Amino acid sequence: MTPFLSRELSRRKFMKAGLATAAVLCFPGIVLSRPIPFEQERSLSFYNLHTGERMETVFWSQGSYHPSALSEIDRFMRDFRTGEVRRIDPRLLDLLSLARIRLGSREPIHLISGYRSPQTNAMLRRHSKGVARHSLHMEGKAADIRIPGVALEHLRRVALSLSAGGVGYYPHLDFVHMDTGRVRWWQGR
């Protein structure tokens, strides 16, 4: 092994990085099938605007998700209208945590909408044209949020920079939608 490789990057790591890069370039969807790599510990701090509840939890550390923390988040992000709970996609939690880190914010994420039951989604559709019939909220793969002290436009830019799902910008309603669906963006009316 050359002195350069031994100091900077082993041959094996170099090959793994090259293969990973090739896989992402050939199969961009593969990125969303794996957790987003960052930090040794992933945590979230939330405030639910509808229930007044607060929570702070570490949901991932030492290479794995913590089932008890995920269950706690599932209950926290429940449909506040019906009380129905659904499993929240851990990749969504990764996105929210990473966005908060990139923003440099220690403020809790203000949750406007997490999981939505089919009944709630149908009711919201009757009152607004901006609610999707097959909303990812009904699959536990979307959240509508804002973060105190962070300009909504800045939150939007950071969410877009993650390139890991959908980003909806609703300045008149004061929230950003983030989901783990295909990469796309839109602005609400």
Scan for tokens 């041959």, then name that residue.
11
pTM over 0.85: no
Nearest-5° Cα angle at 87, 150 to 111? 20
Instruction: Assign domain 35-187 one CATH number from 3.30.1380, 3.30.70, 1.10.10, 1.10.287.
Output: 3.30.1380
pLDDT, tens digit, 9 for 90 and up, residues 91-142? 999 999 999 999 999 999 999 999 999 999 999 888 887 788 889 999 999 9
| Domain positions in the chain | 1-28, 35-187
Q: Mean pLDDT for the chain? A: 85
Q: Which of 168, 71, 75, 86 is nearest to 119 (CA)?
A: 86
Output the pLDDT for position 131. 82
pLDDT, tens digit, 9 for 90 and up, residues 4-26? 434 444 555 544 554 444 444 44
- In the chain, % of residues over pLDDT 70: 79
| CA-CA-CA-CA torsion sign (8, 10, 15, 17) | negative
Q: Which helix (H) or strand (E) holds 179?
A: strand 175-179
